[in-house]
Structure formats: C-alpha cells, structure tokens
Amino acid sequence: MSETHHHSGAKTPEQITADVLASFDGCTDDRLRELMQALVRHLHGFVSEVKLTPEEWTRAIQTLTRTGHITDEHRQEFVLWSDSLGASMLVDAIENTLPDGATESTVLGPFYVPGSPLRVYGANIAQEGGAGVPARVQGRVLDTSGAPIAGAELDVWQNGEDQLYAVQRPEAPEDHLRGRFFTREDGTYAFVAVRPVPYPIPYDGPVGDMLERTGRHPWRPAHIHMIIRADGYRALTTHIFDQASEYLDSDAVFAVKPSLMREFIAHGADDPATPEGITTDWVSVHNDLVLAPAAAAGNGSQPA
C-alpha cells in the first residue's frame, strides 16, 4: 500500500488515555487537575474495560440527554442517578468520619424544601386529616459527652400514607408534614407526625428505566427526614427508619444505616399518654440525636 495508508501513526487506547491525561498537565488549580485526571482515568478505564461499542455510546448520550431534559426545578434526575448508583451514600461515607457516639448521617433526598414553619414543642406537622397513623416522635439532642444541647433546630419532613411528600402534590397545604422545632433547655424535642410508609423513587424517567431493565425495584423503606443544626456542632442530615418497614435490606438509594433504625411502638386511643387532639390508635418513637462538634470532623470540612 502507498505510504498515505500506513497505520504506524495509529494510537492505541492506552496512548489516547495518556494524551488526554497530559492535556490537563498545565492546569494550575491542583485540586481541579487531580479531579479531571482521575475522572479521565476512570472514564477511560470503564470504556476500555467493557469495550464500549459506538451503539452503546450513542445510547449513553441519549440517556444523559433525556436525564437533562426531564430535570427541572421540581425534579432532579441527575441526583436520582447518583442516589440509585450509590454515589451519594459513598460521598456521605467518605465525608462523615464521625467521633464515637455521634448520630450517623444519610441522604438528603430530592424532597427537602427549605423554609418550613417554626412550630412549638409537641405540635402536629400533619395539616390534613387522613395523612396516616399519628406518630409521636420525641427524644433529646445531645453532644458526644451526653450533655443536652438547648436551642438546637430540628428541620423535619416526611411522606404521608399516600406515599407522597407535600411538594409532590400541588393541591396539598405547603407546610403539610414538615416543620422546624427547637430543643428545650434540657435538650428535649417532641412533635406529632404520621407513621411513614415505604414509597418508590420517581420511576417514570431514565433512572426508572434502568431499575426496570436491571431487575431492581424503586422502593425506599419507611423513614422520617431531619436536619439538625446547632451552633458549634456539625449539621446532621439523617433519617429515622421504621425498623418494621419493608425494603430495609434493599433501599433503592442504599441509604439505610442500622444505627438509624427505631421501633415504632403501638398505643391505643385510650392510652393516658395519647397526645392532645389524637382520637385514634397511634404509635410512638424515641430518638436521641448526638451531634459532633464542628471541628471534630474526619477531614475537617463541614456540610452546609
């Protein structure tokens, strides 16, 4: 063959990877260079290992495009990919090297809405009837020495018996099943919620298609969300999991930690401890929360 057709200049996959890595050598931001070069090594490692075909590449581009177009101010499908592929919990595990005794964190999830109303000790967060079985949630916020933290803020939100968060229902009262509470001088808090039920993550998009095609289910075990903030302590984003729930062993977003599981205890409507305004059978759950000091984090950084 003529010289114009020789292949001596053709690059191997390894040479292509080396060229792309070298293109970032001039990046003067050390952390960004580290991130980009590691991203390239792992991206190329994936493509090379599976010998990704042009057809599979095209489908990946289509899936990412669809993910981008389904994402808006009410839905974050990229976060759902991160959650459903366990990347969110991995970031959480790397970040949260906690001192002994501190309560563990778990995913924020896509349904948190800032600006919940401030409510008084013991108030009911259900703003509609029929939201579910009433659940009294109470406990203390403590430091790692066991001393109470007064004035800590608990920002709580949960789904109702219909599996939905208020933010998913345009017709629901905006402040249904959410609220903020401050601990009292002795570190105690209390509110009335409903017993949470399992629910599926949104499965009508690309993540749902992936779950279905790979034989995975979209369900999360029953839980109540909370963020606890107090001056001088690391903010804590966590759940209370109902230890009697289904799906504790197969949470679609891998967010269960055994230390966060709690028993919801049944009570009759005639129990003398029945909270004011409750006329039906109800449940109670006790949940102490232990905050790490702001400076004691494993790698020194502090979540918002």
> Which region, judged by CB under 8 A, interacts with a second copy, from 60-68, 128-136, 152-160, 188-196?
60-68
H/E stretch holding 209? helix 206-213
Q: Is the CB of 107 or the CB of 177 nearer to a second copy?
A: 107
Least distance from a second copy to the Cβ atom of residue 133, Å: 22
Q: Compute the distance between CA of residue 219 and CA of residue 197 in angstroms, rounded to an integer.
A: 10
Half-sphere exposure for 65 (CA within 13 Å, toward CB): 6
Reported as type and span, the H/E element at residue 67 is helix 54-70
Q: Which of 49, 171, 186, 231 binds a second copy (CB under 8 A)?
A: 49
CB of 139 to a second copy, least distance (A): 9
Binds a second copy by CB under 8 A, chosen from 129, 130, 147, 214: 214
Between residue 102 and residue 121, which ones bind a second copy under the rule CB under 8 A?
A: 102-104
* Distance of closest approach, residue 131 Cβ to a second copy, in angstroms: 26
Q: Is 296 helix (H, G, I), strand (E, B) or coil?
A: coil
Element (H, E) at 188: strand 188-194
Can you read off the two tokens belonging to residue 200?
Answer: 């599926």
Token pair in block for residue 233: 């302590």
**DSSP code of 114?**
S
Taking the complex as a whole, the smallest distance from the CB of residue 130 to a second copy amounts, in Å, to: 31
Nearer to a second copy, 54 or 268 (CB): 54
Q: Which of 117, 118, 146, 246 binds a second copy (CB under 8 A)?
A: 146
Pattern 62-91, binding to a second copy, x per CB under 8 A?
--xx-xxx-x----x-xx--x--xxxxxxx
Both tokens assigned to 175: 């402040």
CA–CA dist 115, 179 (Å, integer): 9
* 299 touches a second copy (CB under 8 A): yes
Task: Decide if 127 contacts 276 (C-beta within 8 A).
Answer: no
**How many Cα atoms are found within 13 Å in the side-chain-facing hemisphere of 188?**
9
Q: Which of 199, 241, 247, 254 binds a second copy (CB under 8 A)?
A: 254
Q: Which of 48, 173, 174, 204 binds a second copy (CB under 8 A)?
A: 48
Say which DSSP state 100 is in: T
Tell me: does residue 13 bind a second copy (CB under 8 A): yes
Q: Which stretch binds a second copy (CB under 8 A): 58-66, 111-119, 157-165, 195-203?
A: 58-66
Residue 45 in the binding site for a second copy (CB under 8 A)? yes
- How many CA within 13 A on the CB side of residue 101? 13
What single DSSP character describes residue 1? -
- Residue 12 binding a second copy, by CB under 8 A: yes
Q: Does 20 bind a second copy (CB under 8 A)?
A: yes
Stretch that binds a second copy, among 39-47, 123-131, 179-187, 264-272 (CB under 8 A): 39-47
Residue 249 DSSP label: T
